[in-house]
C-alpha cells in the first residue's frame, strides 16, 4: 500500500530526529539506520519528504564524521530542491510563485549557508554560492524569461496579452497609492490580471520551458567578469534566532 509506506516512512523520520536530538554518536548512528529504512520506503523519490529524509541522513553522516558522504548528501538534497522549484514554477502565477518560494527559501537561504560554514570544502562552497545566485535571481528572472519565450514564439496575440497585463499592473499600482473608494475597481482589476497570468502560463508551456535559463551558476558569473573584476556575494542565514552575515 503506497499510502502506508509513506506514513511509515514519515514515522521513521520523526523517530530518527528524536534519536538524533540525543546528541551521542551511538544515537546518531541509530538514527541513520531508521532514515535509511525510510529512504527505501520513499523509493528515493525527488519529493519534499524524500529529500528531507536525504538531508537528515547527510546530517547524521556529518556528525558521525563521514564528511565526504555528508557533502554528497547535502549537494544532492539542495539540487533536488532546486529541481522541484523549477518543475513547479512553470505552472504558477506571480502571486503563487511568491507563496511557493516562501516555502523553500529557508532551505536555500538559511540551512544551506549554515551547513556551508560548518563544512570547509571548496566544492561545497561553490554549491552554496550557486544557491545564493539561484535564490536571488529566481523571482526576478522568471517573468523576464517568460516574456523572452513569448517573443521567440512569434505569437503576437500572446505578446499583446503580456503587454496588456503589464499596463494593468502599472495601473493597479497607482490605484493602491490612493485606494480609498476604489475597492471594487481594485478587486476587478486583480481578477483580470490573474486571468491574464493563467492564460500566459498556459501559453508559455506550449512554447517551451521558460525555466531553462533560471539557474545561474558561479561559472556564468566568472565568464561575465573582466580581467580586473572581482565578484563578491553577500548572504545571510538565520540559526537559532540569530542572523549571521557572510
**Is 179 in a helix, a strand, or coil?**
coil
Q: Which of 105-114, 138-147, 150-159, 165-174 has the highest mean pLDDT?
A: 165-174
- Residue showing cell 544551506: 112
Alpha carbon separation from 113 to 63, 130, 157, 207 (Å, rounded): 17, 11, 44, 36
Alpha carbon 75 to its chain centroid, in Å, reads 14
pLDDT at 141: 66
Question: What would the grid cell of residue 53 be?
Answer: 529524509
Nearest alpha carbon to residue 199 among 164, 151, 154, 237: 164
Query: Which tens digit of pLDDT belongs to each residue from 180-190?
Result: 888 888 889 88
**Model confidence at 12, in pLDDT bands (50, 70, 90)?**
very high
User: Cβ(158)–Cβ(200) under 8 Å?
Assistant: yes
Query: Which tens digit of pLDDT belongs to each residue from 153-175?
Result: 778 888 888 888 888 888 888 88
In the chain, % of residues over pLDDT 90: 12
d(CA 108, CA 113): 8
pLDDT > 90? residue 30 = yes
pLDDT > 70? residue 5 = yes
User: Cβ(31)–Cβ(16) under 8 Å?
Assistant: yes
d(CA 187, CA 9): 44
Question: What would the grid cell of residue 134 be?
Answer: 539561484
More confident residue, 241 or 9: 9
d(CA 47, CA 52): 8
pLDDT > 70? residue 212 = no
pLDDT > 80? residue 104 = no
pLDDT at 224: 87
d(CA 191, CA 126): 42
**Model confidence at 93, in pLDDT bands (50, 70, 90)?**
low
Of the candidate ranges 51-60, 100-109, 150-159, 174-183, the one whose mean pLDDT is the lowest: 100-109
- Nearby residues of 98 by Cβ (< 8 Å), 6 or more positions away: 139
Does this model's pTM top 0.75? no
User: Cβ(15)–Cβ(33) under 8 Å?
Assistant: no
Q: Which of 134-143, 165-174, 203-212 has the highest mean pLDDT?
A: 165-174
Q: Which of 76-90, 136-150, 196-210 has the highest mean pLDDT?
A: 76-90
* Residue 85 parent element (H or E): helix 67-89
User: Cβ(77)–Cβ(42) under 8 Å?
Assistant: no
**Model confidence at 88, in pLDDT bands (50, 70, 90)?**
confident
pLDDT at 100: 76
Q: Which residues pair with 60 in a beta bridge?
A: none
DSSP 178: S
Amino acid at each position: 500500500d503506497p499510502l502506508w509506506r509513506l506514513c511509515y516512512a514519515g514515522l521513521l523520520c520523526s523517530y530518527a530526529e528524536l534519536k538524533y536530538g540525543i546528541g551521542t554518536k551511538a544515537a546518531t548512528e541509530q538514527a541513520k539506520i531508521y532514515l535509511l529504512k525510510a529512504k527505501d520506503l520513499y523509493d528515493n523519490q525527488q519529493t519534499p519528504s524524500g529529500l528531507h529524509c536525504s538531508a537528515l541522513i547527510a546530517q547524521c553522516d556529518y556528525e558521525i564524521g563521514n564528511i565526504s558522504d555528508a557533502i554528497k548528501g547535502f549537494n544532492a538534497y539542495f539540487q533536488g530542491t532546486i529541481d522541484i522549484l523549477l518543475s513547479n514554477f512553470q505552472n504558477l502565477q506571480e502571486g503563487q510563485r511568491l507563496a511557493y518560494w516562501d516555502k523553500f527559501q529557508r532551505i536555500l537561504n538559511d540551512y544551506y549557508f549554515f551547513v556551508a560554514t560548518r563544512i570547509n570544502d571548496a566544492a561545497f562552497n561553490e554549491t552554496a554560492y550557486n544557491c545564493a545566485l539561484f535564490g536571488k535571481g529566481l523571482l526576478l528572472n522568471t517573468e523576464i524569461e517568460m516574456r523572452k519565450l513569448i517573443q521567440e514564439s512569434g505569437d503576437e496575440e500572446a505578446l499583446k496579452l503580456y503587454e496588456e497585463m503589464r499596463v494593468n499592473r502599472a495601473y493597479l499600482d497607482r490605484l493602491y497609492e490612493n485606494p480609498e473608494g476604489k475597492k471594487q475597481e481594485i478587486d476587478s482589476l486583480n481578477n483580470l490580471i490573474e486571468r491574464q497570468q493563467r492564460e500566459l502560463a498556459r501559453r508559455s508551456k506550449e512554447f517551451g520551458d521558460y525555466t531553462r535559463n533560471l539557474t545561474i551558476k558561479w561559472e556564468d558569473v566568472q565568464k561575465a567578469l573582466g580581467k580586473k573584476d572581482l565578484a563578491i556575494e553577500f548572504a545571510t542565514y538565520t540559526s537559532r534566532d540569530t542572523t549571521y552575515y557572510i
